[in-house]
Every structure is written in C-alpha cells, then in structure tokens.
Amino acid sequence: MANPSARLEQIAGILPTLLTQYHRLLLIVGPIGSGKTPLLKALCQQQHVPYLNVNLALSQRLLDLTDKERPLRVRRLLADVIDEQAADIIALDNLELLFDPTLHQDPLVCLQALSRNRTLVAAWGGNYEGGVLTYAEPGHPEYRRYDRPEALIVTVP
C-alpha cells in the first residue's frame, strides 16, 4: 500500500458521514495482498473498533447445521455475531464465506441489510473501477458484479 497513514486518515474521516447514509457501509476494496487487513486492524486500534473475522465466526456457527439449513440461516447468524459486538462501528474481514455458492447469498445485499443499524467497515477482495464493484473473475463460481453499488468505497491499490 502506497501510503497507509493517508488511507487510514481518509477512512477515519469518512466514518462520521456514514451515520447519515441509508446503508452505513464502507467497503475497503483491493486485490489479495493489497493491505486491506493491516489497514482494517490499524483502524480498529486507532478508533477502538472491534475486528471480526467473518469466515471464522460464521463457519463455527454453520457447523451444526445441515446443508439445507445453512442458506436459510447464514444472514441471521452473521447478524447475531455482529450484534454480540458492543460497538456502533465494526470492522469485518475475511468475507469469502459469504460468496460460497452453496449458501445462496448476495454478499453485498447481506452487508447492506446488516449495515442499517450499525456502521460496517468491510474488506472486499476484488476491484472497483468505473463505478463497477467486482469479486472474483467472470466464469468463477463466486463471481459477482455490481454496477454503482450502494456503499461508500475506498480502494487499496
């Protein structure tokens, strides 16, 4: 990442404006290895924000469910994990499980729904160019494309 402290300052400046948004969602978008996780952790330390590894927390709760129950309960389970955090702002990292085709979720819609009452800052492993947010490559089972997504976005090169 070219200038992590400037990016951290940019994100900290955006946080108050999220309170006026319908979806209180900030996506930190960049490819694997671009520095999203260190940036999130630095934000958590600076702003005293809880850090949540979504893959770890969600997979633990999905273990006891059948394959048929998982898609039906995944969003509620993630909401429960988020609700357990005693904070108005929560950093979400490692979202890959939300893209699992067997869970039949729309990850962006899920994050938007969960950001109605709480500010979420989420690391999104993908790209954002020309108003188009993507995850994975076309043809990949987890591929997603969103034109003009309803979220504030900060890109990490």
Domain residue ranges in the chain: 7-15+34-127+135-155
In this predicted structure, what is the pLDDT of residue 151?
A: 93
Q: What is the mean pLDDT of residues 11-30?
A: 95
Q: What is the mean pLDDT of residues 30-42?
A: 95
pLDDT digits (tens, 9 = 90+) for 106-141: 999 999 999 999 999 999 999 999 999 999 999 999
DSSP 31: -
Q: Strand (E) positions, 15-126?
A: 25-30, 51-53, 89-93, 119-125
Q: What is the mean pLDDT of residues 40-63?
A: 96
* Angstrom distance (rounded) from CA 23 to CA 26: 9
Q: Which residues contact residue 122 at a Cβ distance below 8 angstroms, ignoring those fewer than 6 apart?
A: 25, 26, 27, 28, 91, 92, 93, 95, 111
DSSP 105: -
In this predicted structure, what is the pLDDT of residue 45?
A: 96
CA dist 120 to 65, 67, 111, 140, Å?
26, 28, 8, 27
Least confidently predicted of 3-7, 20-24, 108-112, 133-137: 3-7
Q: What is the mean pLDDT of residues 13-37?
A: 94
